[in-house]
């Protein structure tokens, strides 16, 4: 395998740069075919820099047009420029100004890093290392500089010119050109630089901060989409108010701009004062966006906004610290949604995401610590581990310290590190100091990969009236980490008495029990509760207080008791999931379920549906069986996805067919003529109704397919229409084919974001023939292979959401995907590498499929030159 360059960067090698860039003056001359960039960098040596120390600036594919220091052109022997950068052999040992000029071709930049064009608009993406594709620079997050940016462009094609900070000047530049000058007073790393130039529409609004400062807000988009930005604007204002209320953080500039673009490698980017968004996370209107889309927009608008304090004002010293900003900011956006909507429903959804995205990563060939100690391609580390597990670690910290203690730590973090590029160690240190605690062992959460397994067993001594919980934790080896240390696990819990109420105890020994939690910090503990009058049912890991896999010895009856009585809604949901998982796993591994066991689960589901006290959104989550991937993970090895699919489908029928009538009645009762609204109650109502439709279709209830067709045809919003389409397509009802065709013609053809939904459903159908369908879409010359949204909807949905077809026994799914990855790698390495991560399940499959996956991966390896992104994923995938 040939890669662009073989290189590994190690955390232990971190050293500050011998020079620093303190201010940046950029001049962009944007033309139709090329853009000229002139950079004036004011540079200083560090106090201890020795004379003759070269200055190495990063550059990626740049061609140097001219170079000067303090206005004097450099002789050829004074510097060296190549594909990876520019070296000044012996720069002055005093403050000086380096001037460089380069020419860029944004229109042919299909990697979508640096300056590129999306639908005619010029825009940038710099995180992690895109700024070096714009100009030569110290493109590392610990160099903070103030930026002034002048943009000149043709007025006709780019009337809107934006960059970070405040607009200080604008006007005509003659010859049909105009210019704007932006200045950002806050020193920032280069990854937060942004520029946008284009012909855009906008909506505007304002927000007055708690201290009375007025901030002008604007969202820019392609003309005609302005109305669709209102929900994003609403979400932004609520985010700004929340960060003031909850963390005492105000916005700091007078302007906050957001721009929506159609070609974007991921969700959005938190550039200072100028967030750039994938348009799917901005545009919302009821007939094209679903409730999930509204939710995603609210969440990501909040996330990027919250980065202003956690990420921008306090940034990362180096990219190993990525989860310093990402884990913390995900935690903050999760808390925002919890406060705005339903906390338990949010927690359950987040845990579902964690288990479906992060646990497989943590238990497979791509496992890495939340703070890795080495990487070869940093863009491959924007992972569920850094984001979602990173957020879980912050959540545990908040659980261990309590809300007030956590806030004290956050306040100190802002006070002490504002304006700095810092580390995980510094982050933990403020919490330790503010609370007078030792977080040495806690830090292991950041350093150690793998999901701990928590095993619990219990016993009751009636004579002594004691109840004993035995807890044991173990983390299996992960690539590069053969041995594991014990972690600090906050295990929130309660003991339920016979009538379902909480039992108190008179004494406890054998471990740390405080504030409603057990804190397990050794490999094992045996905790004895005294004064317990009868054997309790333990409710453990309430609210999923630690990101672990828990094995319990609870009987099905105890689980169902929890499902009915636990005061913790998360564990009520979890108990139903556990019962479903246990039945499916037993059946797959050779122990068919008994009628009694299934009937008991069915009855519990019926009671959940009928409950007057549970809300609709919770019921929608509870009335479900664990996903196929979740069942496979519980089995752990030699997986046959066809068998998992078949058994789960059978179990679904067995559990929900007896509930057909109550489900139908509830479905009918939930129908509503009210106009679409994205509030929590309306969303919950639709979620439950659509869940019931899915269950009715999936359990083959009489008339269910017709009901789906009826809902599809009569739907008054995209949420209901897509739910009906998806239920029909997944079960491949007699109407599915015609419905897909109708959806394509009447909804998808005119709106790329709706087309994505059609692509995703098409690629997720668990039936033979899906590969041919995807191939046909890809082979259509009109299909834009440069657009990440289209590719992720089509190929990503297949890889991540269609286990029976992706992991086909004949290997056709694997070969299909490696073929696509090889092709896309030449267009956009980040997208290609991300698709390849879907192979992470391969070591868990049964032998035949394992061999087929390995053959496809080896074939990719032999296929020729791969980008560093794809080569890195591939080599780790094959090392397992």
- If binding is defined by CB under 6 A, does position 756 make contact with ligand B3K? no
Question: What distance in Å separates the CA atoms of residue 853 and residue 860, rounded to the nearest whole number?
Answer: 11
Under a CB-based contact definition with an 8 Å cutoff, are residues 24 and 35 in contact? no
Question: What distance in Å separates the CA atoms of residue 644 and residue 646, rounded to the nearest whole number?
Answer: 6
Q: Which of 99, 142, 279, 326 contacts ligand B3K by CB under 6 A?
A: 326
Look up 425 and say whether it is catalytic. no
CB-nearer residue toward ligand B3K: 143 or 717 = 143
With CB under 5 to 8 Å by kind, the binding choice for 134 among Zn ion, ligand B3K, none is none
Q: How far is the CB of 192 from ligand B3K (least distance, A)?
A: 9
Q: How far is the CB of 184 from ligand B3K (least distance, A)?
A: 17
CB-nearer residue toward ligand B3K: 259 or 600 = 259
CA angle 377, 381, 383 (to 5 degrees): 150
Which residues ranging from 235 to 274 are in contact with Zn ion (CB under 5 A)?
none
Total residues binding ligand B3K (CB under 6 A):
12
With CB under 5 to 8 Å by kind, the binding choice for 442 among Zn ion, ligand B3K, none is none
With CB under 5 to 8 Å by kind, the binding choice for 128 among Zn ion, ligand B3K, none is ligand B3K
Identify the bridge partners of residue 37 per DSSP, sorted by sequence position: 28, 102
CB-nearer residue toward Zn ion: 148 or 317 = 317
CB-nearer residue toward Zn ion: 277 or 593 = 277
Q: Which of 163, 358, 379, 608 contacts ligand B3K by CB under 6 A?
A: 379
- If binding is defined by CB under 6 A, does position 656 make contact with ligand B3K? no
Q: Which residue in the block uniquely carries the two structure tokens 């995401």?
A: 353
- If binding is defined by CB under 6 A, does position 754 make contact with ligand B3K? no
- If binding is defined by CB under 6 A, does position 389 make contact with ligand B3K? no
CA dist list (Å): 808 to 442, 641, 770, 834: 42, 8, 11, 20
Under a CB-based contact definition with an 8 Å cutoff, are residues 184 and 312 in contact? no
Q: Which of 470, 477, 476, 473 is nearest to 454 (CA)?
A: 473
Q: How far is the CB of 300 from ligand B3K (least distance, A)?
A: 8
Q: How far is the CB of 254 from ligand B3K (least distance, A)?
A: 23
From 127, 298, 304, 340, the catalytic residue: 304
Q: Which of 814, 826, 815, 808 is nearest to 864 (CA)?
A: 826
Which window, 252-260, 303-311, 548-556, 619-627, contacts ligand B3K (CB under 6 A)?
A: 303-311
Under a CB-based contact definition with an 8 Å cutoff, are residues 518 and 587 in contact? no
- If binding is defined by CB under 6 A, does position 388 make contact with ligand B3K? no
- If binding is defined by CB under 6 A, does position 304 make contact with ligand B3K? yes
Q: Which of 231, 331, 382, 839 contacts ligand B3K by CB under 6 A?
A: 382
- If binding is defined by CB under 6 A, does position 421 make contact with ligand B3K? no
Question: What distance in Å separates the CA atoms of residue 708 and residue 685, rounded to the nearest whole number?
Answer: 17
- If binding is defined by CB under 6 A, does position 193 make contact with ligand B3K? no
Q: 569-588 and 628-635 are packed helices; what angle lies between their axes, rounded to 10 degrees?
A: 70
Which window, 173-181, 261-269, 526-534, 654-662, contacts ligand B3K (CB under 6 A)?
A: 261-269
Which window, 115-123, 299-307, 706-714, 759-767, contacts ligand B3K (CB under 6 A)?
A: 299-307
CB-nearer residue toward ligand B3K: 630 or 867 = 867
CA angle 39, 42, 48 (to 5 degrees): 135
- If binding is defined by CB under 6 A, does position 831 make contact with ligand B3K? no
With CB under 5 to 8 Å by kind, the binding choice for 28 among ligand B3K, Zn ion, none is none
3-class DSSP state for residue 214? strand
CB-nearer residue toward ligand B3K: 25 or 58 = 58
Q: Which of 257, 239, 29, 47 is nearest to 150 (CA)?
A: 29
With CB under 5 to 8 Å by kind, the binding choice for 266 among Zn ion, ligand B3K, none is ligand B3K
Strand 9-10 and strand 374-375: the pairing is antiparallel
Question: Residue 766 is encoded by which pair of tokens?
Answer: 């668990």
With CB under 5 to 8 Å by kind, the binding choice for 150 among ligand B3K, Zn ion, none is none
Under a CB-based contact definition with an 8 Å cutoff, are residues 871 and 357 in contact? no
CB-nearer residue toward ligand B3K: 134 or 181 = 134
| Per-position x/- string for 123-152, each x denoting binding to ligand B3K as judged by CB under 6 A, each - no binding | ----xx------------------------
Using H for helix, E for strand and C for coil, what is the string for 789-811? HHHHHHHHHHHHHCHHHHCCCCC
CA angle 44, 46, 51 (to 5 degrees): 90
Total residues binding Zn ion (CB under 5 A):
2
User: DSSP secondary-structure letter at 619?
Assistant: H
Which residues ranging from 263 to 282 are in contact with ligand B3K (CB under 6 A)?
266, 268-270
CB-nearer residue toward ligand B3K: 256 or 816 = 256
Radius of gyration of the chain (CA): 28
3-class DSSP state for residue 738? helix
Identify the bridge partners of residue 181 per DSSP, sorted by sequence position: 150, 169
- If binding is defined by CB under 6 A, does position 722 make contact with ligand B3K? no
Element (H, E) at 864: none
- How many H-runs (helices) and E-runs (strands) does the chain carry? 29, 35
With CB under 5 to 8 Å by kind, the binding choice for 127 among ligand B3K, Zn ion, none is ligand B3K
Under a CB-based contact definition with an 8 Å cutoff, are residues 295 and 267 in contact? no
Query: With the CA atoms of 257, 262, 265 and 270 taken in that order, what torsion angle do they form, in degrees rounded to the nearest 10?
Result: 10
| Per-position x/- string for 298-327, each x denoting binding to Zn ion as judged by CB under 5 A, each - no binding | ----------------------------x-
Q: Show the beta-strand stretches assigned E in 61-132.
A: 64-69, 72-73, 79-82, 85-88, 96-104, 114-118, 121-125
Q: How far is the CB of 294 from ligand B3K (least distance, A)?
A: 19
With CB under 5 to 8 Å by kind, the binding choice for 269 among ligand B3K, Zn ion, none is ligand B3K
CB-nearer residue toward ligand B3K: 304 or 350 = 304
- If binding is defined by CB under 6 A, does position 832 make contact with ligand B3K? no
Contacts of 519 (CB under 8 A, 6+ apart): 400, 488, 489, 490, 491, 511, 512, 513
Q: Is 120 exposed, middle or buried (0-12, 13-18, 19+ CB in 10 A)?
A: middle
**Residues with catalytic annotation?**
304
Binding residues for ligand B3K (CB under 6 A): 127-128, 266, 268-270, 303-304, 307, 326, 379, 382
Binding residues for Zn ion (CB under 5 A): 326, 329
């Amino acid at each position: 395998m040939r890669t662009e360059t073989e290189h590994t960067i190690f955390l232990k090698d971190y050293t500050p740069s011998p020079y620093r860039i303190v201010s940046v003056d950029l001049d962009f001359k944007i033309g139709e075919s090329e853009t000229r960039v002139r950079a004036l960098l004011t540079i200083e040596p560090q106090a201890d820099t020795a004379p003759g120390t070269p200055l190495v600036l990063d550059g990626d594919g740049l061609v140097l047009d001219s170079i000067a220091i303090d206005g004097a052109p450099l002789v050829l022997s004074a510097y060296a420029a190549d594909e990876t950068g520019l070296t000044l052999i012996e720069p002055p040992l005093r403050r000086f100004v380096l001037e460089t000029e380069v020419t860029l071709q944004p229109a042919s930049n299909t990697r979508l890093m640096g300056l590129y064009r999306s639908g005619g608009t010029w825009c940038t993406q710099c995180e992690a290392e895109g700024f070096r594709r714009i100009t030569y620079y110290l493109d590392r997050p610990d160099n903070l500089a103030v930026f002034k940016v002048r943009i000149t462009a043709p007025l006709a094609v780019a009337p809107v010119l934006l960059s970070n900070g405040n607009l200080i000047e604008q006007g005509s530049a003659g010859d049909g050109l105009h210019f704007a000058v932006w200045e950002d007073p806050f020193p920032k790393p280069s990854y937060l630089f942004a520029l946008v130039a284009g012909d855009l529409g906008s909506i505007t609004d304002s927000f007055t901060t708690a201290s009375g400062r007025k901030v002008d807000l604007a969202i820019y988009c392609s003309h005609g989409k302005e109305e669709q930005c209102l929900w994003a604007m609403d979400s932004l204002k609520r985010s700004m108010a929340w960060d003031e209320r909850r963390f005492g953080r105000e916005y700091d500039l007078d302007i906050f701009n957001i721009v929506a673009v159609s070609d974007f490698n991921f969700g959005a980017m938190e550039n200072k004062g100028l967030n750039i968004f994938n348009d799917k996370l901005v545009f919302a209107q009821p007939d094209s966006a679903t409730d999930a889309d509204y939710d995603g927009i609210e969440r990501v608008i909040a996330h990027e906004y919250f980065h202003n304090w956690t990420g921008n004002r306090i940034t990362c010293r180096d990219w190993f610290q990525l989860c310093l900003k990402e884990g913390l900011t995900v935690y903050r956006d999760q808390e925002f949604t919890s406060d705005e909507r339903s906390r338990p429903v949010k927690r359950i959804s987040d845990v579902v995401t964690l288990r479906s995205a992060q646990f497989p990563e943590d238990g497979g060939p791509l496992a890495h610590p939340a703070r890795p100690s080495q990487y070869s391609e940093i863009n491959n580390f924007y992972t569920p581990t850094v984001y979602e597990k990173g957020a879980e670690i912050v959540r545990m910290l908040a659980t261990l310290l309590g809300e007030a203690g956590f806030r004290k730590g956050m306040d100190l973090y802002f006070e002490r590190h504002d304006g700095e590029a810092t580390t995980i160690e510094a982050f933990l240190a403020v919490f330790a100091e503010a609370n007078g605690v030792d977080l040495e062992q806690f830090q292991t959460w950041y350093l150690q990969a793998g999901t701990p397994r928590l095993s619990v067993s219990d016993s009751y001594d009636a004579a002594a009236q004691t109840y004993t919980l035995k807890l044991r934790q173990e983390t299996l080896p992960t690539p590069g980490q053969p041995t594991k240390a014990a972690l600090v696990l906050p295990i929130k819990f309660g003991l339920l008495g016979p009538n379902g109420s909480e039992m108190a105890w008179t004494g406890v020994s054998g471990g740390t029990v405080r504030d409603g939690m057990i804190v397990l910090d050794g490999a094992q503990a045996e905790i004895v509760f005294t004064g317990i009058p009868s054997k309790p049912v333990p409710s453990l890991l309430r609210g999923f207080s630690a990101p672990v896999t828990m094995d319990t010895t609870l009987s099905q009856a105890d689980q169902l008791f929890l499902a009915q009585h636990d005061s913790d809604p998360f564990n009520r949901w979890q108990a139903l999931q556990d019962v479903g998982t246990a039945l499916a796993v037993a059946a797959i591994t050779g122990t068919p379920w008994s009628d009694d066991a299934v009937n008991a689960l069915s009855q519990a589901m019926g009671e959940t549906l009928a409950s007057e006290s549970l809300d609709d959104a919770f019921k929608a989550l509870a009335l479900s069986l664990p996903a196929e991937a979740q069942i496979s993970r519980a089995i752990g090895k030699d997986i046959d996805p066809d068998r998992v699919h078949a058994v789960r489908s059978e179990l679904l029928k067995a559990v929900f067919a007896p509930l057909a009538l109550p489900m139908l009645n509830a479905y009918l009762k939930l129908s509503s003529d009210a106009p679409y609204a994205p509030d929590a109650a309306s969303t919950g109502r639709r979620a439950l109704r659509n869940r019931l439709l899915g269950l009715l279709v999936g359990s083959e209830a009489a008339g269910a397919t017709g009901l789906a067709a009826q809902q599809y045809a009569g739907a008054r919003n995209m949420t209901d229409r897509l739910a009906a389409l998806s239920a029909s397509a997944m079960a491949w009802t007699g109407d599915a084919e015609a419905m897909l065709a109708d959806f394509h013609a009447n909804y998808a053809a005119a709106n790329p974001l709706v087309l994505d939904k059609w692509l995703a459903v098409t690629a997720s159908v668990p039936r033979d023939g899906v590969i041919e369908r995807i191939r046909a879409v890809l082979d259509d010359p009109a299909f834009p292979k440069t657009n990440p949204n289209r590719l992720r909807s089509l190929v990503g949905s297949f890889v991540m959401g269609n286990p029976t077809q992706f992991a086909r026994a004949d290997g056709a799914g694997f070969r299909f995907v490696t073929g696509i990855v090889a092709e896309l790698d030449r267009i956009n390495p980040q997208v290609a590498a991300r698709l390849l991560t879907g192979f992470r399940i391969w070591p868990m499959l049964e032998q035949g499929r394992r061999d087929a996956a390995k053959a496809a991966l080896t074939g990719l390896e032999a296929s020729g030159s791969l980008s560093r992104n794809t080569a890195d994923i591939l080599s780790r995938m094959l090392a397992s």
